[in-house]
């Protein structure tokens, strides 16, 4: 799931509030001595913040995304000072590019945990929506190894889907994870027939969509992300 589907919403007030939440940081690395990067490769909180409105930015250097090129073997995954825990080493496996400090990559994963944890402290729906929308790089890997206490958020996110077009959706009732104005949706069946739509121009701030059986395509705009109601 990608941020490109969310441009219109993030120009609204709700996106501004979410970005402010995501800019916060603070989750422990799960024990052991926290490794400190040797050079100015530290991933700043600004770099870890939400993706710009008009363009999906690549993951910052040292992010938790798996590299495409050669990686350091496990035997060389050692910090300049201290040591990595078993979970930290497992997280770093196959993730550190050659000629890069593994502590910088670990720190990026820790910052992913920080963003999820502190966002959830203010608004769990915002944290879940950010995971669904892909606004937190490699959230699943970071949560699994570095902050497993956040797994309930990940489990909830796996039941949702992003704003945009979804084919063959499961029938049921869903709620939009936004209160911004302009969230609209429609359920389209065979022959491009609109089976249901909403909300109206004067609809409620909390939007609920009821997807009927026979829906082939569910299309939404400005709704950020959806969860089963």
Q: What is the pLDDT of residue 66?
A: 65
Q: What is the pLDDT of residue 63?
A: 38
Backbone φ and ψ for 174, nearest 5 degrees, come out as -130, 155
Successive 10-residue mean pLDDT values, the chain, 229 residues? 37 40 41 36 35 32 59 90 91 92 94 95 95 91 94 96 96 92 94 92 81 97 95
Other Cβ atoms within 10 Å of 137 Cβ, number: 20
pTM across the whole model: 0.67
């Amino acid at each position: 799931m990608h941020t490109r589907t969310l441009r219109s919403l993030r120009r609204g007030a709700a996106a501004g509030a979410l970005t402010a939440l995501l800019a916060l940081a603070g989750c422990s690395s799960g024990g052991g001595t926290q490794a400190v990067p040797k050079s100015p490769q530290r991933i700043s909180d600004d770099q870890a913040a939400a993706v710009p409105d008009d363009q999906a930015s690549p993951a910052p250097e040292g992010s938790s995304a798996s590299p495409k090129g050669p990686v350091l073997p496990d035997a060389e995954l050692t910090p300049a000072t201290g040591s990595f825990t078993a979970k930290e080493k497992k997280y770093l496996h196959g993730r550190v590019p050659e000629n890069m400090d593994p502590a910088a990559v670990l720190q990026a994963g820790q910052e992913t945990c920080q963003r999820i944890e502190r966002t959830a402290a203010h608004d769990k729906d915002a944290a879940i929506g950010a995971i669904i929308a892909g606004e937190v790089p490699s959230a699943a890997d970071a949560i699994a190894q570095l902050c497993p206490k956040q797994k309930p958020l990940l489990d909830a996110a796996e039941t949702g889907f992003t704003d945009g077009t979804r084919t063959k959706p499961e029938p049921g009732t869903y709620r939009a994870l936004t209160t911004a104005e302009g969230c609209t949706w429609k359920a389209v069946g065979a022959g491009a027939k609109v089976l249901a739509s909403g909300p109206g121009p004067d609809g409620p701030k909390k939007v609920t969509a009821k997807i009927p059986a026979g829906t082939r395509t569910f299309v939404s705009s400005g709704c950020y992300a959806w969860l089963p109601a």
